[in-house]
Amino acid sequence: MENLSNVGNNIVGSEIIKISQQIKEISKTKPVANLTIGDFNSKLWPIPSELTNRIIDSYNLNLTNYPNSMGEINLRESISKHIKHQLNIEYSPDEILVGGGVRPLIYTVYKATVNPGDGVIYPTPSWNNNHYCFLHGASKQEIQCLPENAFFPTVEDIKNNINDSTSLICICSPQNPTGRVINPEVLKDICDLIVSENKFRKTQVGSKPIYLFFDQIYSDLSFGDNFTNPIQVCPEIKDYLICADGISKSLNATGVRVGWVFGPKDVIGKMSEILSHIGAWAPKAEQHAVSRLIDEDYDAYQSHLKYVTDEYKFISSAICDKFQELKEKGFDVDYQKPEGGIYVSVYLDYVHSFASTEQYITFLITDCSLGIVPFEYFGSEQKGWFRISIGNIGSHSLDFILNKIENAVVKSSIWANSMVM
C-alpha cells in the first residue's frame, strides 16, 4: 500500500511482538519458554491485592468520567510524596503529568522538545527510541554502546555526538534491555555537559536547549541502593530534566495503565496540552486507586516492592549462574549480571554460525523451545547479545527455564560444530 502518509507507508511494527507471534504458533504443539516480552504472567505476578481492592472501590464510586487533563490532583500529590520518599527530591503536583502508561508520555516528550530534523542522542541497545525518532521526523544520533561500558554511553560519546541540531538526549536506568544501572559518575559527567552546553546556547540567538529524558520506570526494582536520579548528582540539571516512571513494572501492572512524568513546570504544561489532544489519559478510577495505595497502603506498596525485587534478583542470579556454569564448561557464552528490573543480558556466540540472526531465533524457538530477543532489535550492532525477560518465570518454573537454556546452548554448539566440518 503506497497511498498513505510517509509514516503510514514506512512504519515498522514491533519486532518483539513478531517473535511472540512465532512462539504462539509453535506453542500450539509443544511448550516454549517465552522470555521475550517485558511483561508479567499475571497468575505468577499479580498486582497487590490492595490495589485490586482500591480499583474496585473506585468503580463502585462511579469514578468513570474524564480525569483531570494533568492527572487527578490527589494522585499527583501522592506521586510527589512518593518521589520525595524514594529519591529525596522535591517535585510539586504542577510539575507532574499522568498518562495512560509511560508510552504516550514519551510521545509527548518528543513532541514537546523535538522539531522535525532535530537530533536525538540515545544509546543502543535501547527501547523504541528509533521508532519515536521516525514518528517525529527526528535525526537519529545513535551511540553504539559496548559491553565493557555496561552498554551505556560515556560522556565522550555524548560530547562527540552533540551538534547544533541536538535537542534531546535519552537514557534509561535500570536499562531496557540490559538490566544495568548507569554509573553515578558517568551520569554526573553527562549532566554537567548538558548544563554547560545549555549555558552556551543561552548566548546564541534562536537556540533552544537540550533536554535530558531519563526513563526510570524500573527504578523501584533496583537490586540495592545503586539507582541514581540525575538531580542527585547534578542539581542544576533540573531545569532540563524530564523523568518517566509509573506502576507498570514496579506493581506488575502493565495493563492498569498509570504512568507519569515529572519535569520543569512549563514543559510539563505543554506536554499536558499535547496529551489532551491525544486523549491518552489514565482511567480516573485507576488514578484514584493508585493514589489511595500510596497514601493509605504505602507499607503494602513497599512490601510488594521488596518481595518482587528479591524474587527477580534470585531468578536473575540463577540464570547468570547457569551461564557461568556453561561458560566454565567451555561453551561460547557470556552474560552481564543485572542491577535491577526484569532483564538479563546474555551472549551466545553461536549466532555467527547461522545465515542471519532471524534464522538463529527461529532455530532457538523451533528446535530448542526457547524465545529470547537479540540486542539488534534494540538498535545494537553487538551481534550475539540477547535479552532474557523474566516476567514469565516463577520459582516453580525456574528449573524448567534453566533446562531450556542449557539445552539451547548445547544444541547451538552442536550446530556450530557441524558447520565447521
Write b or e for each residue in 13-27: b if 16 or more Cβ atoms lie within 10 A of its Cβ, otherwise e. Answer: eebbeebbebbeebe
Which phi and psi (to 5°) does residue 171 adopt? -135, 140
* The predicted structure's pLDDT at residue 17: 87
* All three cell numbers of 199: 549555558
* The predicted structure's pLDDT at residue 1: 58
Fold of 51-296: Aspartate Aminotransferase; domain 2 (3.40.640)
Give the integer Cα–Cα distance in Å for 251 and 55: 14
Positions in the chain whose pLDDT score sits under 70: 1, 420-421
176-194, pLDDT tens digit by residue?
999 999 999 999 999 999 9
* The predicted structure's pLDDT at residue 419: 81
* The predicted structure's pLDDT at residue 114: 98
For 34, counting Cβ atoms within 10 Å of its Cβ (0-12 exposed, 13-18 middle, 19+ buried), the class is buried
* All three cell numbers of 393: 518465570
One-letter amino acid of 191: C
* The predicted structure's pLDDT at residue 421: 60
For 44, counting Cβ atoms within 10 Å of its Cβ (0-12 exposed, 13-18 middle, 19+ buried), the class is middle
One-letter amino acid of 416: A
* The predicted structure's pLDDT at residue 395: 83
DSSP secondary structure of 226-256: ----HHHH-GGGGGGEEEEEESTTTTS-TTT
* The predicted structure's pLDDT at residue 269: 98
CATH of 6-45+301-416, one of 3.40.50.2300, 3.30.1330.10, 3.90.1150.10, 3.90.550.10: 3.90.1150.10
- In sequence order, the 6+-apart residues with CB closer than 8 A to the CB of 351 are 357, 360, 374, 383, 384
Give the integer Cα–Cα distance in Å for 254 and 101: 8
* All three cell numbers of 210: 537540550
pTM higher than 0.75: yes
* The predicted structure's pLDDT at residue 2: 74
271-295, pLDDT tens digit by residue?
999 999 999 999 999 999 999 999 9
Domain ranges of the chain: 6-45+301-416, 51-296
